[in-house]
Amino acid sequence: MSPFFELPALWAAETAHSHSMLLYYVALVPALGVAAQWIAWRLHLPGILMLLIFGIILGQFLSPDEVIAGVTGGDASSGTRVLFPLVSLSVAVILFEGSLTLRLGELREAGSAVLRLVTIGAVVTCLMTTLAAHWFLDFSWRVSLLIGSILTVTGPTVITPLLHHIRPTRRISSTLKWEGIVIDPIGAVLAVLVFEELLLPPSVNPWSAALSLGKTVLVGLVLGAAGAGFLVQCIRRFWVPDYLQGILALAVALVSFCISNYLAEESGLITVTLLGIILANQKQAVIEHLIEFKEHLRTLLIGCLFILLGSRIDPQALLDLGWPGVGLVLFLIAVIRPASAFISLAGTQLDWREKVFVGFLAPRGIVAAAVASVFALKLEQLADESGMVDSATPLVSATFLVILSTVTFYGLVSGPLARVLGLAIANPQGLLFAGADHWVRELAKVLHENGVRVMLVDTNYNKISAARMAGLPAECINVLSDQARNEVNLGGIGRMLAVTPNDEVNSLAVQEFRQLFESSGVFQLPFKSHAAADSRSPASHLQARVLFGSDWTFTRIRETVAAGAVFKATKLSDNFSYSDFLVRYGDQAVLMFVIQGETLQVNTVDQKLNPEPGSTVVALVPALPIPPGHAASSEPKAVSSSDSVPTSS
């Protein structure tokens, strides 16, 4: 066959191979994202740290720029040009989802701190980073100011997973969450202004910069409000079926982002942020199902983006920065962020421990990478006008070095630091009781006396008053209300027990708190025993893990306690094992919890406990132990309320 006929065949084979590589890469990225987050969950490590590690390893074999370039037929830069529009859209979705969690009520405690961090703190960070980039990396003042503006951002892609992993107190969590979401559009817009007014001819024009800023903010505000108003009307007036509402919200956010960026560069981040904040705080339409849809999408996108981010990191380019790059990172972590935090937070309600924690949590994420890469491309495209094409690669390398270093450092240090400062608990074992009936209060009291953090919520003020008189933390609030999740102090609480006398309320409470505590951390006590197919029982997907045993219901426990049974904590030992405990109390005892060191185990239908010596068992026992040699009855026997045993051993 002549070479003329061989070339099309070779081209077709190469094209097919390129498309196959892209297919494999697209399938591999989310799989690695899930695997990295699962491993991080099992090892109790920050997920973003494992994602970056997996991404760097993948990048040694496959680069996304090269894979995309192989399909498009261009060089590596063409792959970058295709990749970053997709990254920008993903960032828009993540910011939109994050802003859906921003409640204006949180600003009562954190408003002043957030405002100062995104204004005074942003200015201090930008100026000090500019100086550091000039001193350590010998960048020109103009490029130094550009990287200083880029590195003011933190972002929800890194802050949200870390906060979910650390679970600090409510006020500090609200402060950092608001800062991480609001600072992203501010940093991006600041970088655009610096680029357009300082790096491009003609010379600096303050009026032009002010006009550009005003236009950007105005476009973002108008389109964000318009998009939110449109979605609210569609949901409130039932113009769209439920199954399309999540997709519609996503489409509106993406279209608004693109139109906004077309009208004013980087205003799209303002648009999607404001769009989410308005939707989260309006009262006309229910958006809970939108939030759930976006949470799943955010988890997928964060996993994919950080795998892509890690795979684009060139270790050699980072090494080329040498010790000056290390100096810049150390200066950012040890000097710039603490100085920015303490200067901006002076005079706020945050105490010194909270200020220290804020001063040591500022990881940079995908927004910084995307903005730096976009401006690097622009510097290359405008090389003749800017004369700074040689600054493009160092700009991106320095940004990626800061991202990798800060994610690693804060991912490893922030959790232990929060625990040392008393702002978080490593493995929260506390219990949230939905319901505060008499027997629930007695059970919570025994747990409280044995060092378990408890919180009771109920709408009956008399029950809550009785709980407080017994020294138990309690709130008179509807467990199904927004205030239950947003205002109740859940510090140290890791699980929820739905123990009201209403099966439907219990099922709804389970749905409300499943997102917070996950399915493994929500439990339910049925009011009455029903067969699995009983039409009076809630649907199986509305139920949580069943507490204690299939035969023990709210009614039976209440009647047993009324007959004289009590809750008792008993310390097991080699001389008094769990078998001895069963001999003493027989089948009349109901094992409920096991305290093993600092770990609290819950006895459920699907996970029966076998307490070991050294642990403490919390059980419902008859007031009078079964005499030795007497057979244990399979049914609880009513005992006199005057025959009691201590509620703790």
Structural domain boundaries of the chain? 3-420, 430-621
Return the closest-CA partner of residue 404 out of 49, 74, 139: 49
Checking if the pLDDT of 204 tops 60, the result is no
Checking if the pLDDT of 78 tops 80, the result is no
Residue 647 binned pLDDT confidence (cut-offs 50, 70, 90): very low
Residue 255 binned pLDDT confidence (cut-offs 50, 70, 90): very high
* Fold matches, 3-420 and 430-621: no
Lowest mean pLDDT among 212-226, 590-604, 614-628: 614-628
- At 491, is the secondary structure helix, strand, or coil? coil
pLDDT value for 200: 57
The C-alpha atoms of residue 87 and residue 79 are separated, in whole angstroms, by: 12
Checking if the pLDDT of 373 tops 80, the result is no
Which numeric CATH code is attached to 3-420? 1.20.1530.20
590 versus 357: the higher-pLDDT residue is 357
The C-alpha atoms of residue 593 and residue 574 are separated, in whole angstroms, by: 19
pLDDT value for 334: 92
CATH number, domain 430-621, options 1.10.10.10, 3.30.450.90, 2.40.40.20, 3.40.50.720 = 3.40.50.720
Checking if the pLDDT of 203 tops 80, the result is no
Do strands 454-458 and 430-434 pair parallel, antiparallel, or not at all (unpaired)?
parallel
pLDDT value for 571: 87
Checking if the pLDDT of 157 tops 70, the result is yes
Checking if the pLDDT of 458 tops 80, the result is yes
**Can you state the angle between helices 156-166 and 366-381, rounded to 10 degrees?**
160
Phi, psi dihedral angles at 518 (to 5 degrees)? 65, 165
| Local structure of residue 434 (DSSP, 8 states) | E
pLDDT value for 641: 32
Return the closest-CA partner of residue 422 out of 487, 361, 356: 356
- Up-side HSE of residue 164: CA atoms within 13 Å toward CB? 20
The C-alpha atoms of residue 592 and residue 38 are separated, in whole angstroms, by: 30
Mean pLDDT, range 367-391, rounded to an integer: 64
Mean pLDDT, range 170-193, rounded to an integer: 83
pLDDT value for 327: 92
Mean pLDDT, range 172-176, rounded to an integer: 86
The C-alpha atoms of residue 494 and residue 492 are separated, in whole angstroms, by: 6
pLDDT value for 206: 62
Identify whether the C-beta of residue 124 lies closer than 8 Å to the C-beta of residue 302: no
Lowest mean pLDDT among 241-245, 351-355, 489-493: 489-493
Instruction: Summarize pLDDT for 403-412 with one digit per residue, the tens.
Output: 888 888 888 8
- Up-side HSE of residue 364: CA atoms within 13 Å toward CB? 30
485 versus 470: the higher-pLDDT residue is 470
Residue 331 binned pLDDT confidence (cut-offs 50, 70, 90): very high
Mean pLDDT, range 121-142, rounded to an integer: 89
pLDDT value for 337: 92
| Local structure of residue 199 (DSSP, 8 states) | I
329 versus 95: the higher-pLDDT residue is 329
Checking if the pLDDT of 168 tops 90, the result is no
Residue 17 binned pLDDT confidence (cut-offs 50, 70, 90): low
Residue 84 binned pLDDT confidence (cut-offs 50, 70, 90): confident
Lowest mean pLDDT among 35-44, 214-223, 254-263, 520-529: 520-529
pLDDT value for 540: 59
pLDDT value for 524: 85
Residue identified by tokens 């020294």 is 471
Checking if the pLDDT of 138 tops 60, the result is yes
For the chain, the C-alpha Rg in angstroms (whole number) is 29
Checking if the pLDDT of 194 tops 60, the result is yes
Mean pLDDT, range 243-249, rounded to an integer: 85
Mean pLDDT, range 371-398, rounded to an integer: 66
pLDDT value for 259: 92
pLDDT value for 72: 60
- Number of Cβ atoms within 10 Å of the Cβ of 563: 15
- The rounded mean pLDDT for the chain is 78
Mean pLDDT, range 200-212, rounded to an integer: 63
The C-alpha atoms of residue 611 and residue 444 are separated, in whole angstroms, by: 20
Mean pLDDT, range 404-430, rounded to an integer: 83
- Whole-model pTM over 0.85: no
Identify whether the C-beta of residue 22 lies closer than 8 Å to the C-beta of residue 67: yes
pLDDT value for 532: 44
Return the closest-CA partner of residue 570 out of 550, 553, 584: 584
| Local structure of residue 427 (DSSP, 8 states) | S
Pair of tokens at residue 435: 């319901």
Give residues with Cβ within 8 angstroms of 220, minimum separation 6. 185, 260, 264, 267, 268, 269, 270, 271, 273, 274
Counting residues of the chain whose pLDDT is more than 90, the rounded percentage is 7
